Amino acid sequence: MELIITISYIELIKEVSMVKRKKYLGLFLIIVSILLFVFWEARGRTLITTEEMLILNENIEEQQVINENMFDVRNVVWASNEALKPDDISEILGKVATQFVHKEAPLFLEYFEKTALIPNENRSEYIMAIPNDWLLSYPQSLRRGDTAYLYCNGKLIIKSVVAHTKDCSNKEVVSEDANRLEGSSNISLVEVILNKSQAAKLAKIANEGNRFVIMYN
């Protein structure tokens, strides 16, 4: 009889212990669920459903030089794969804007270009439109930012950066495909960045009745 009572007591203790374990386990799961919910609302949703994108903290104008103080990072729900991310900032520092860019707008590499397209006043540089009657030929695939080589009678005269390639309505001619097989229009005017001595050299040769061939890379 005593043995039966002892066994029953032990089983009762086990049952109570199991109930307590289930109770604690349930309480633990509730606490974990609450913590996960709090984390999801505080950080998880942002980490999983958004990504960091690079944006401007101010409006910038065309030809404005880019510096690191102009940027912020923002989490966005969706952005183009081509939009710039924080790690891309080194790609555009020191470049200039090719157009007006609104602050907080997604940024793309084509919004920025090398500062070589800005005449250097310290070197007496300026943008010069090459008169068409000075030119024998130039490729229709020539574009802004290319390095142009001006030849005369097979001899290289100067090389310069192309500032603009414009059509007859004074609009910039741009490529409509990656291989430059299609342009937005036909080039009617080529503008390059020259210093005073280079411009004088071209004028002297042209005034002697010579014409130039433009090539680029």
Q: Tell me: the pLDDT tens digits for 74-124? A: 877 666 778 888 888 888 887 888 888 888 888 888 888 776 677 877 788
Total Cβ atoms within 10 A of residue 211: 14
Q: Tell me, what's the pLDDT at 3?
A: 46
Domain regions of the chain by residue span: 1-48, 51-113, 120-216
Residue 8 structure tokens = 């029953």
The domain defined by 51-113 carries CATH number 3.40.50.300 = no
Model pTM?
0.53
Strands (E), the chain: 51-56, 71-76, 96-97, 112-113, 125-130, 135-137, 147-152, 155-166, 189-195, 212-216
Q: Rounded distance, CA 4 to CA 10, Å?
A: 10
